[in-house]
Amino acid sequence: MKKVFVFIFLLFPVFSVLEAQTCDEGIIHEIDQIKQEIETMLINASTMNVALETGESLLVFYIDGQMIKISVENQDPYLSAELFFRDGFIRHIAEDVQEKKELNRNYYYFNEDRLVCYQNEKTSDYKNPDFYAAAEKKWLINIERYLLAIQ
Protein backbone atom coordinates (compact mmCIF):
# COMPACT_ATOMS: atom_id res chain seq x y z
CA MET A 1 0.00 0.00 0.00
CA LYS A 2 2.89 2.38 0.77
CA LYS A 3 4.23 1.82 -2.74
CA VAL A 4 0.93 2.94 -4.28
CA PHE A 5 0.91 6.17 -2.25
CA VAL A 6 4.55 6.88 -3.11
CA PHE A 7 3.81 6.22 -6.80
CA ILE A 8 0.76 8.52 -6.78
CA PHE A 9 2.70 11.17 -4.87
CA LEU A 10 5.53 11.04 -7.43
CA LEU A 11 3.10 11.36 -10.34
CA PHE A 12 1.18 14.29 -8.87
CA PRO A 13 3.79 16.95 -9.78
CA VAL A 14 3.81 15.71 -13.40
CA PHE A 15 0.02 15.99 -13.62
CA SER A 16 0.03 19.41 -12.00
CA VAL A 17 2.60 20.70 -14.53
CA LEU A 18 0.45 19.39 -17.39
CA GLU A 19 -2.64 20.93 -15.86
CA ALA A 20 -0.86 24.29 -15.64
CA GLN A 21 -0.09 24.17 -19.35
CA THR A 22 -3.63 23.54 -20.57
CA CYS A 23 -5.73 26.30 -22.03
CA ASP A 24 -8.09 28.22 -19.77
CA GLU A 25 -11.30 28.93 -21.69
CA GLY A 26 -11.84 32.26 -19.90
CA ILE A 27 -8.41 33.57 -20.85
CA ILE A 28 -8.83 32.29 -24.42
CA HIS A 29 -12.17 34.09 -24.71
CA GLU A 30 -10.68 37.32 -23.35
CA ILE A 31 -7.73 37.21 -25.76
CA ASP A 32 -10.00 36.32 -28.70
CA GLN A 33 -12.09 39.42 -27.88
CA ILE A 34 -8.95 41.57 -27.87
CA LYS A 35 -7.95 40.08 -31.24
CA GLN A 36 -11.40 40.82 -32.65
CA GLU A 37 -11.26 44.43 -31.38
CA ILE A 38 -7.86 44.89 -33.03
CA GLU A 39 -9.11 43.42 -36.30
CA THR A 40 -11.99 45.92 -36.24
CA MET A 41 -9.55 48.80 -35.67
CA LEU A 42 -7.39 47.85 -38.68
CA ILE A 43 -9.60 49.81 -41.07
CA ASN A 44 -8.38 53.05 -39.44
CA ALA A 45 -4.77 51.94 -38.94
CA SER A 46 -1.72 53.38 -40.60
CA THR A 47 0.80 50.85 -41.94
CA MET A 48 4.51 50.44 -42.54
CA ASN A 49 6.31 47.78 -44.62
CA VAL A 50 9.67 46.42 -43.50
CA ALA A 51 11.82 43.84 -45.30
CA LEU A 52 14.23 41.85 -43.15
CA GLU A 53 17.56 40.42 -44.32
CA THR A 54 16.21 36.97 -43.44
CA GLY A 55 13.67 37.26 -46.27
CA GLU A 56 10.74 37.94 -43.98
CA SER A 57 8.51 40.88 -44.79
CA LEU A 58 6.59 42.70 -42.09
CA LEU A 59 3.45 44.78 -42.41
CA VAL A 60 3.05 46.79 -39.21
CA PHE A 61 -0.26 48.38 -38.18
CA TYR A 62 -0.52 51.42 -35.90
CA ILE A 63 -3.39 53.28 -34.26
CA ASP A 64 -2.53 56.67 -32.72
CA GLY A 65 1.17 55.79 -32.84
CA GLN A 66 0.69 52.51 -30.96
CA MET A 67 1.53 49.23 -32.72
CA ILE A 68 -1.44 46.85 -32.71
CA LYS A 69 -0.50 44.18 -35.26
CA ILE A 70 2.37 42.76 -37.27
CA SER A 71 1.77 40.52 -40.28
CA VAL A 72 4.78 38.37 -41.18
CA GLU A 73 5.38 36.62 -44.50
CA ASN A 74 8.30 34.41 -45.47
CA GLN A 75 8.64 32.13 -48.48
CA ASP A 76 11.51 29.82 -47.51
CA PRO A 77 10.71 28.25 -45.16
CA TYR A 78 7.07 29.17 -45.61
CA LEU A 79 5.58 31.18 -42.77
CA SER A 80 2.59 33.44 -42.54
CA ALA A 81 1.77 34.89 -39.14
CA GLU A 82 -0.41 37.54 -37.57
CA LEU A 83 0.76 38.97 -34.26
CA PHE A 84 -1.69 41.04 -32.19
CA PHE A 85 -0.55 43.48 -29.50
CA ARG A 86 -2.32 45.41 -26.78
CA ASP A 87 -0.72 47.85 -24.34
CA GLY A 88 2.76 46.93 -25.57
CA PHE A 89 2.33 43.19 -24.97
CA ILE A 90 1.90 40.36 -27.45
CA ARG A 91 -1.55 38.84 -26.96
CA HIS A 92 -2.27 36.47 -29.84
CA ILE A 93 -0.38 34.84 -32.71
CA ALA A 94 -1.88 32.81 -35.53
CA GLU A 95 0.70 31.18 -37.78
CA ASP A 96 0.60 29.01 -40.88
CA VAL A 97 3.75 26.96 -41.33
CA GLN A 98 4.73 24.30 -43.81
CA GLU A 99 5.97 21.14 -42.12
CA LYS A 100 6.71 18.02 -44.14
CA LYS A 101 4.73 19.29 -47.17
CA GLU A 102 1.70 19.93 -44.97
CA LEU A 103 0.34 23.31 -43.96
CA ASN A 104 -0.30 23.63 -40.22
CA ARG A 105 -2.04 26.41 -38.33
CA ASN A 106 -0.92 27.13 -34.78
CA TYR A 107 -2.44 29.53 -32.27
CA TYR A 108 -0.54 31.11 -29.39
CA TYR A 109 -2.22 33.02 -26.56
CA PHE A 110 -0.06 35.30 -24.41
CA ASN A 111 -0.69 37.14 -21.17
CA GLU A 112 1.97 39.75 -20.33
CA ASP A 113 4.55 38.04 -22.59
CA ARG A 114 3.90 34.60 -21.09
CA LEU A 115 2.50 31.85 -23.27
CA VAL A 116 -0.73 30.69 -21.62
CA CYS A 117 -2.14 28.54 -24.42
CA TYR A 118 -0.64 26.84 -27.47
CA GLN A 119 -2.99 25.10 -29.87
CA ASN A 120 -2.95 23.49 -33.29
CA GLU A 121 -6.13 23.37 -35.33
CA LYS A 122 -5.68 19.60 -35.73
CA THR A 123 -4.41 18.48 -32.35
CA SER A 124 -6.06 21.05 -30.08
CA ASP A 125 -4.17 22.00 -26.89
CA TYR A 126 -0.54 21.00 -26.57
CA LYS A 127 -0.16 19.77 -23.02
CA ASN A 128 3.58 19.16 -23.15
CA PRO A 129 5.49 21.75 -21.04
CA ASP A 130 8.52 21.39 -23.35
CA PHE A 131 6.38 22.45 -26.36
CA TYR A 132 5.17 25.47 -24.38
CA ALA A 133 8.68 26.53 -23.36
CA ALA A 134 10.07 26.11 -26.89
CA ALA A 135 7.14 27.94 -28.52
CA GLU A 136 7.28 30.81 -26.03
CA LYS A 137 11.04 31.22 -26.47
CA LYS A 138 10.82 31.04 -30.29
CA TRP A 139 8.14 33.72 -30.52
CA LEU A 140 9.60 36.09 -27.94
CA ILE A 141 12.94 35.99 -29.80
CA ASN A 142 11.18 36.60 -33.13
CA ILE A 143 9.13 39.46 -31.69
CA GLU A 144 12.30 41.08 -30.35
CA ARG A 145 13.85 40.85 -33.85
CA TYR A 146 10.74 42.36 -35.42
CA LEU A 147 10.58 45.21 -32.93
CA LEU A 148 14.25 46.05 -33.53
CA ALA A 149 13.64 46.06 -37.29
CA ILE A 150 10.71 48.47 -37.13
CA GLN A 151 12.34 51.02 -34.82
Q: What is the mean pLDDT of the chain?
A: 84
Pairing mode, if any, of strands 57-63 and 46-51? Answer: antiparallel
Q: Higher pLDDT residue, 26 or 76?
A: 26
Percent of the chain with pLDDT over 90: 56
Question: What three-state secondary structure class fits 49?
Answer: strand
CA 147/CA 151 separation, integer angstroms:
6
Q: What is the pLDDT of residue 52?
A: 93
- pLDDT of 147 > 60? The answer is yes
Averaged over 20-49, what is the pLDDT? Answer: 90
CB atoms within 10 A of CB 11: 10
Percent of the chain with pLDDT over 70: 82
Domain range holding 124? 2-150
> Beta partners for 95?
81, 106
Q: Domain count of the chain?
A: 1
Averaged over 10-17, what is the pLDDT? Answer: 40
